[in-house]
C-alpha cells in the first residue's frame, strides 16, 4: 500500500484522500458508483441503538445525504441523532468535506476538522472517496455507517423507539418488499441515472443511461396519474428517494444529461408531486436551492473559473398549489 500523504492545516497534519481514478468506469465506459464501505447495521451485536451517541453529517447539495436528513426530520429523530451540515473548504488539496459550520471548523463532538479524519479513524486502510451521508459514533469518534442505500431504513426501523409521537410509517412492513424493489429501480434509473450519463466514458454508455433515465421518468409520470404518492395516499421511503433527484433536476441534472428532453415542469404529475412533497415539513426545510446550485456549479465544477451560477429556480413556483390532495 502506498504511503499516505498529509497536508498541514492550521498546524494539524490532515491525511489527503487518494486521487480519484477511473476505477468506477468499466471496460465499456459505463460508470459504476463505488460501493459503500461502512455497512454494519444497528441493534444486538452491531452498532448500539442509543440516543446521544450518533451524529449525521450531510451536505445540502448531495442528494444521497439529503434523503437521510429528510427521514430524520420526518421521523422526529432530532432528539436522538444530532446533525451537522458539511461543505467543501477552500484548500487545494483533496481534503474532502469540512466542518465549515462549526466554530473554527472543528466539530466539537469529535475534534475533527474534516470528515475524512473520522473515516480513517474507523479504517486506517480506507482508500475510497469520503462521502456523505455519514453516521458517526462520536463516543468512538469514527464513521459507523455511510450506506445511503439502507441508512434511511435503519432510521425507520431500528431507531423506532426514538420516533416522535405519530411519526409517519415510511417503511411499512407489509410494503417493504415492494419498496425495496422500487428503491433499487429508482437508484439504477433515476438517482444514479443522471450520474451514469455524466461520468460515463463512451457514447454507447451515455445514450443507454440517457434513454433509461427518460423512460423511467415516463413510467413514474404514468404511475402518479391516479395516486398521490408512489404507494398511494401516504409518503414512504421511496418518495423521499425520488424527491431528492427531482429537486435537483432543473437546477443541475439537466445540464449533466446534456440535451434536455423534458425539464421537470413539463411533467404534469411529477411536477405537481414534487411541489406536494416540497410543501411538506421535513422536505422544504432540508431543501436549499442556493446551496445545491453552489455545490454543482462551483464546488463540483473547477472549470467554472469565474464562479458563475445559473439563475433559478423560481422558488415561488414550488409553492404553487399542486392539487394532489384530491388523490
* DSSP three-state, residue 305: coil
Here the cell at position 36 is 459503500
Here the cell at position 311 is 439563475
β-pairing verdict for 142-145 and 134-137: antiparallel
Here the cell at position 77 is 429523530
CA distances to 131, 136, 318 from 112, in Å: 16, 12, 37
Q: Could you tell me if 98 and 84 are in contact, meaning their C-beta atoms sit under 8 angstroms apart?
A: no
Which position among 120, 148, 184, 195 bears the catalytic label?
A: 195
Which position among 54, 62, 148, 171 bears the catalytic label?
A: 62
Distance, in Å, from the CA atom of 146 to the CA atom of 111, rounded to the nearest integer, reads 20
62 catalytically annotated: yes
Distance, in Å, from the CA atom of 294 to the CA atom of 16, rounded to the nearest integer, reads 23
Instruction: From 126, 105, 93, select the one nearest 14 (Cα to Cα).
Output: 93
- Name the H helices within 169-302: 176-186, 193-199, 203-223, 237-248, 254-257, 268-278, 289-294
Strand partners, 114: 98
What residues are labeled active site?
62, 195
Amino acid at each position: 500500500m502506498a504511503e499516505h500523504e498529509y497536508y498541514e492545516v492550521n498546524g494539524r497534519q490532515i491525511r489527503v484522500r487518494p486521487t480519484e481514478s477511473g476505477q468506477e468506469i468499466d471496460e465499456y465506459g459505463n460508470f459504476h458508483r463505488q460501493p459503500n464501505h461502512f455497512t454494519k447495521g444497528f441493534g444486538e451485536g452491531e452498532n448500539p441503538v442509543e440516543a446521544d451517541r450518533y451524529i449525521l453529517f450531510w451536505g445540502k447539495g448531495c442528494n444521497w445525504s439529503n434523503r437521510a436528513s429528510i427521514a430524520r426530520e420526518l421521523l422526529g429523530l432530532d432528539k436522538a441523532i444530532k446533525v451537522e451540515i458539511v461543505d467543501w473548504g477552500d484548500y487545494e488539496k483533496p481534503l474532502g468535506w469540512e466542518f465549515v459550520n462549526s466554530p473554527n471548523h472543528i466539530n466539537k463532538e469529535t475534534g475533527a476538522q474534516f470528515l475524512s479524519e473520522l473515516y480513517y479513524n474507523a479504517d486506517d486502510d480506507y482508500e475510497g472517496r469520503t462521502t456523505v451521508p455519514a453516521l458517526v459514533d462520536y463516543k468512538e469518534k469514527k464513521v459507523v455507517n455511510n450506506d445511503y442505500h439502507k441508512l434511511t431504513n435503519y432510521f425507520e426501523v431500528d431507531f423506532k423507539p426514538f420516533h416522535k409521537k405519530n411519526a409517519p410509517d415510511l417503511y411499512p412492513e407489509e410494503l417493504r418488499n415492494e419498496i425495496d424493489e422500487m428503491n433499487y429501480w429508482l437508484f439504477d434509473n433515476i438517482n444514479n441515472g443522471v450520474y451514469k450519463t455524466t461520468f460515463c466514458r463512451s457514447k454507447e454508455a451515455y445514450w443507454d443511461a440517457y434513454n433509461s433515465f427518460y423512460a423511467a421518468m415516463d413510467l413514474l409520470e404514468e404511475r402518479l396519474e391516479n395516486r398521490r404518492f408512489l404507494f398511494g395516499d401516504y409518503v414512504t421511503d421511496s418518495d423521499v428517494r425520488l424527491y431528492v433527484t427531482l429537486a435537483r433536476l432543473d437546477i443541475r441534472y439537466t445540464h449533466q444529461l446534456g440535451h434536455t428532453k423534458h425539464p421537470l415542469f413539463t411533467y404534469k404529475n411529477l411536477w405537481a408531486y414534487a411541489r406536494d412533497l416540497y410543501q411538506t415539513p421535513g422536505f422544504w426545510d432540508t431543501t436549499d436551492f442556493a446551496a445545491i446550485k453552489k455545490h454543482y456549479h462551483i464546488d463540483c465544477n473547477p472549470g467554472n473559473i469565474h464562479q458563475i451560477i445559473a439563475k433559478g429556480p423560481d422558488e415561488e413556483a414550488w409553492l404553487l398549489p399542486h392539487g394532489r390532495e384530491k388523490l
